[in-house]
Amino acid sequence: MRRLLLSNDDGVHAPGLRALYEALTPHANLRVVAPDRDRSGASNSLTLSRPLALTALDNGFYSVDGTPADCVYLGVNGVWDERPDLVISGINHGSNLGDDVLYSGTVAAAMEGRNLGMTAIAMSLCGAHHFATAAQFAASLIGAADQLSLPPRTLLNVNVPDLPWEKIKGVKVTRLGYRGPAEKPVPVQDPRGRTRYWIAPVAANADDGEDTDFAAIEAGYVSITPLQTDLTRHPARRDVQDWLDAFA
């Protein structure tokens, strides 16, 4: 059986991680390494200022007092002799659509797996109820994972509508949409009268065209978006060079 590493950013006790584990147990040998607390929004950060604790839990999972990327790094290169064949991150409690992928610890965990040479999938449920739907879809993907051929440094970002399985209309391969500018932070007063700030909720969609992940989810389809770790805007290189040449 293939070896899978499971991780997430919602924490080792999150219901989405448990649902994913239970759905995939019949299909693979599983290792679970996840943060000891909610680390949503941690993105690709690694903990470099202190050593990390890898703790075995009673249920066989392992927790790490660090970020999602830390967890995958240790899960692949840590205390075990065998490397996994595939990294799956999730199931996230909430969507990771459009610009969300820049902040998402769920996507970052999958990206760390890809950076370490693994095939990697990020799984998110666009809500908080039908984890069984996302878990069932993840199991169907694993069944065909051996036939998946991706370019180097590519991973899959999968978002599943928060619907019962029978109401899922199908699957669409999408591109990332993007949201508008972020809202202003929300000020609050702490008990000592000091002002603190909550990061505001996400802004409205600025690009949710019919081929985007936003549109697929809205229409009741699972969205699968291939992501690349090369962030270079290659067509703009010529523009930047012309700009430099103009005042050189």
Residues flagged as binding site for a divalent metal cation: 9-10, 40, 92
The single-letter code of the amino acid at 50 is: R
Residue 174's nearest CA partner among 126, 118, 233 is 126
Q: Which residues are annotated as a binding site?
A: 9-10, 40, 92
Q: How far is CA 19 from CA 10, 98, 132, 166, 227, in A?
A: 13, 25, 6, 18, 24
Name the token pair of 52: 């990390």
Q: Could you give the CA distance from residue 50 to residue 200 in angstroms, rounded to a whole number?
A: 31
Number of H helices, E strands in the chain: 6, 13
The pair of three-digit structure tokens given for residue 57, joined into one six-digit string: 């839990």
Q: Which amino acid is at 189?
A: Q
Tell me how far the alpha carbon of residue 188 is from its chain's centroid: 30
- Pairing state of beta strands 119-126 and 86-93? parallel
3-state secondary structure of 248: coil
Handedness of CA 149, 9, 221, 232 (dihedral sign): negative
Asked if 186 and 222 touch (Cβ cutoff 8 Å), the reply is no
What's CA 104's distance to the chain center, in Å?
A: 6
What is the C-alpha to C-alpha distance for residues 136 and 139, in angstroms, rounded to an integer? 5
